Amino acid sequence: MSAPLAPRFSPPPLIDWAGIRADFPLIAGQDLIYFDNAASSQKPKVMLQAMEEMLSHSYANVHRGVHSLSQKATDQYEAARKTVARFINAADEAEVVFTSGATDSINTIAFSFGEAHIQPGDEILLSGMEHHANIVPWQLMAQRKGAVIKAIPVLDNGSLNLESLDALMGPKTKLLSLVWVSNSLGTVNPIPYIVQKAHAYGIPVLVDAAQAAPHMPLDVQAIDCDFMVFSAHKMCGPTGLGVLYGKRALFENLPPYRGGGDMIDRVSFEKTTFQGLPFRFEAGTPHILGAIAFAAVLDYLSNIGLGHIEERERQLSHSLRSQLKADFPQIQLIGTAPDSVSVVSFLLKGHHPLDVGVLLDNQKVAVRTGHHCCQPLMDRFGIPGTVRASLAFYNTEEEIQRFLLALRKTIHLLR
Amino acid sequence: MNSTMHNTAHLLEADFALFDSWEEKYEYLMDLGRDLKWPEGRLQADSMLIPGCQSRVWLDHAFQNGKIEFFAASEALIVKGLIAMLLKVYSGQSAADILAFQPDFIGRIGLSQHLSPTRSNGLFSMLNTLKSTAIAYQNA
């Protein structure tokens, strides 16, 4: 008798997705179809509880008081930093700076890196699918410093033209700042490959992970990026909080972006000296409550498992994509890159996205319409904008079916 | 008080009141939008674009015999419908009447959700532009 064959694939773990949906008070048991997660995601009860707990028992300013309550708050705030560091596998929690959001994080690096390293004629490389938040800060810096902005072109299917990389990278290229997952198209860019390529030219890389962090496991050491930014509110955390990760070697020598309390070592009117990482980049009282609530959310997400979240969101968005493709000849998908997650962007041929959005809204479907803060990308496709459905792990296949029905009715009303 | 403006507004209200469902209301609104035509031969320039709308909205006017006639266009059908509704009431009126008129009928029709200044359909911005145009001709 032969030995039983080992199964080639382990069966998927049983995750109680219905129970997880029930953790989100705003959508649990509601008939609202919330497909606007790329704009901001809904919040789990654990976040509310963490906020209430903190405000009820351990709230005070951090890094300042000798009194016990301030110490308690400081311990929790610094523990939150450790949680973030663990979540992204940073080598050292001092490499994690809390900001007000991904936009603020990019502005910080654009300013500080620009001050330290950019000379007239130097180049910053971006891509044609960047959010305005990863374009405008660099333009502001480039205007100040006389630098030049270049962009990796986007192919017709919404992926990057990787063949152009060698031509775009050279001795003048001082930094590459690139989106991991496109907020408008859902395209997942091959970040590890691109980072490796840039490093071969000696170019440091900032990864805009605002739309990646909610959907997949992050490992800054494995990716080997020099900076990574993301926002808490897009991954079930609070608004007004973001993360700026920087590899120590490069990060700790950058000058501060904003001055204020907590970021100084010693101040006199003649000369001020600054703290090291991470405090140098956290001027003023930070979003203490937000950081602590975010840590609770990250524990919650880690408990589900980012790998499981990614798998489910890929399944859901693939299901939506393939049904739109198969059953809706009037729909044109914008962005059909082989690798994508969460976001499904489309146009109803002959109709403005706004009309589609308003008629869906009347059927309790929340989607985003417009240019998604990516006007250069919309120009690239020659369109005013798209209708964007963006899914999260707490969405369901049943919602996708109801969404498709609402879309049918929308098409009927617009005929 | 200008009775023409009030009468037109009442007629629009009565038309919309014929429909019970939101679907029919929007179908009627979009029909109004389909009927909104930019005058043939009239230049449609970027300088006529109204800010604050996701779809592009052009608004132009002509002043004749003390009345302001408005012309508008948009890329989005629902926005065109909202504009068409406004122009039915506001176009061809005097500056003083335009400034005195309160557009309460939009709320009574059940479309007031489109009037919020933070909605990205431009209706709020459109109303403001109608009024600021009227202000420019107030003493004309």
- Residues A345, A386 within the same domain: yes
Q: Which CATH number fits domain B3-136: 3.40.640.10, 1.10.1200.10, 3.40.50.300, 3.90.1010.10?
A: 3.90.1010.10
Kindly tell me if the per-residue pLDDT of B114 is higher than 80.
no
Residue A31, in any domain of the structure: yes
Hey, are the CB atoms on B55 and A413 less than 8 Å from each other?
no
B54 contacts in A (CB within 8 Å)? 353-354, 369-370, 384-385
B30 contacts in A (CB within 8 Å)? 355, 413-414
- Residues A288, A140 within the same domain: yes
Q: Output A267 or B68, whichever has higher pLDDT.
A: B68
In the block, residue with structure tokens 């009239």: B42
Hey, are the CB atoms on B27 and A354 less than 8 Å from each other?
no
Kindly tell me if the per-residue pLDDT of A228 is higher than 80.
yes
The domain of A383 spans: 19-35+306-414
Q: What is the pLDDT of residue A284?
A: 95
Query: Average pLDDT in the A370-375 region?
Result: 90
Hey, are the CB atoms on A355 and B22 less than 8 Å from each other?
no
Q: What is the pLDDT of residue A7?
A: 53
A192 touching chain B per CB within 8 A: no
By C-alpha distance, which of B45, B119, B50, B139 is closest to B87?
Answer: B50
- End position of a domain, from candidates A272, A303, A334: A303
- Residues A248, A313 within the same domain: no
Query: Average pLDDT in the A288-313 region?
Result: 97
A356 contacts in B (CB within 8 Å)? none
Domain boundaries, chain B: 3-136
SS3 assignment for chain A: CCCCCCCCCCCCCCCCHHHHHCCCCCCCCCCCEECECCCCCCCCHHHHHHHHHHHHHCCCCCCCCCCHHHHHHHHHHHHHHHHHHHHCCCCCHHHEEEECCHHHHHHHHHHHHHHHHCCCCCEEEEECCCCHHHCHHHHHHHHHHCCEEEEECECCCCCECHHHHHHHCCCCEEEEEEECECCCCCEECCHHHHHHHHHHCCCCEEEECCCCCCCCCCCHHHHCCCEEEEEHHHHCCCCCCEEEEECHHHHCCCCCCCCCCCCEEEECCCCEEECCCCHHHCCCCCCHHHHHHHHHHHHHHHHHCHHHHHHHHHHHHHHHHHHHHHHCCCEEECCCCCCECCEEEEEECCCCHHHHHHHHHCCCEECEEECCCCHHHHHHHCCCCEEEEECCCCCCHHHHHHHHHHHHHHHHHHC
Hey, are the CB atoms on B76 and A370 less than 8 Å from each other?
no
- End position of a domain, from candidates A303, A320, A343: A303
- Residues A271, A330 within the same domain: no
- Residues A284, A226 within the same domain: yes
Residue A40, in any domain of the structure: no
Number of independent structural domains in chain A: 2
Q: What is the pLDDT of residue A264?
A: 86
Kindly tell me if the per-residue pLDDT of A276 is higher than 70.
yes
- Residues A57, A158 within the same domain: yes
Hey, are the CB atoms on A354 and B30 less than 8 Å from each other?
no
Query: Which of B27, B54, B78 has the CB atom closest to A370's CB atom?
Result: B54
A385 touching chain B per CB within 8 A: yes
Angle, alpha carbons A196-A202-A206 (nearest 5°): 65
Angle, alpha carbons A135-A140-A142 (nearest 5°): 90
Q: What is the CATH number of the domain that holds A84?
A: 3.40.640.10
- Residues A100, A113 within the same domain: yes
Catalytic residue ranges of A = 373
A359 contacts in B (CB within 8 Å)? 26, 78
Nearest CA in chain B to A373: B54
pLDDT band at residue B107 using 50, 70 and 90 as cut-offs: confident
Residue A403, in any domain of the structure: yes
A353 touching chain B per CB within 8 A: yes
Residue A41, in any domain of the structure: no
A369 contacts in B (CB within 8 Å)? 54
A414 contacts in B (CB within 8 Å)? 30, 77
Its ipTM equals: 0.92
Q: How far is B76 from chain A (nearest CA, A)?
A: 5
Residue A13, in any domain of the structure: no
Q: What is the pLDDT of residue A9?
A: 60
A355 touching chain B per CB within 8 A: yes
Hey, are the CB atoms on B22 and A369 less than 8 Å from each other?
no
- End position of a domain, from candidates A273, A303, A333: A303
For residue range A184-206, list pLDDT tens digits in order: 999 999 999 999 999 999 999 99
* Model pTM above 0.90: yes
Catalytic residue ranges of B = 53
- Residues A171, A92 within the same domain: yes
Kindly tell me if the per-residue pLDDT of A177 is higher than 70.
yes
Residue A290, in any domain of the structure: yes
Q: How far is B62 from chain A (nearest CA, A)?
A: 28
B22 contacts in A (CB within 8 Å)? 362
Kindly tell me if the per-residue pLDDT of A1 is higher than 50.
no
- Residues A330, A360 within the same domain: yes
For residue range B39-88, list pLDDT tens digits in order: 999 999 999 998 877 888 999 999 999 999 999 999 999 999 999 999 99
Query: Average pLDDT in the A323-345 region?
Result: 97
Q: How many CB atoms lie within 10 A of CB A415?
A: 9
A405 touching chain B per CB within 8 A: no
For residue range A2-55, list pLDDT tens digits in order: 555 555 566 556 899 999 999 999 999 899 999 999 999 999 999 999 999 999
Q: What is the pLDDT of residue A38?
A: 98
Kindly tell me if the per-residue pLDDT of A173 is higher than 50.
yes
Q: What is the CATH number of the domain that holds A336?
A: 3.90.1150.10
Residue A216, in any domain of the structure: yes
Query: Which of A352, A358, A370 has the CB atom closest to B75's CB atom?
Result: A352
A414 touching chain B per CB within 8 A: yes
Query: Which of B23, B56, B76 has the CB atom closest to A355's CB atom?
Result: B76
Counted across chains A and B, CB pairs separated by less than 8 A come out at 43
- Residues A204, A330 within the same domain: no
A375 touching chain B per CB within 8 A: no
Residue A406, in any domain of the structure: yes
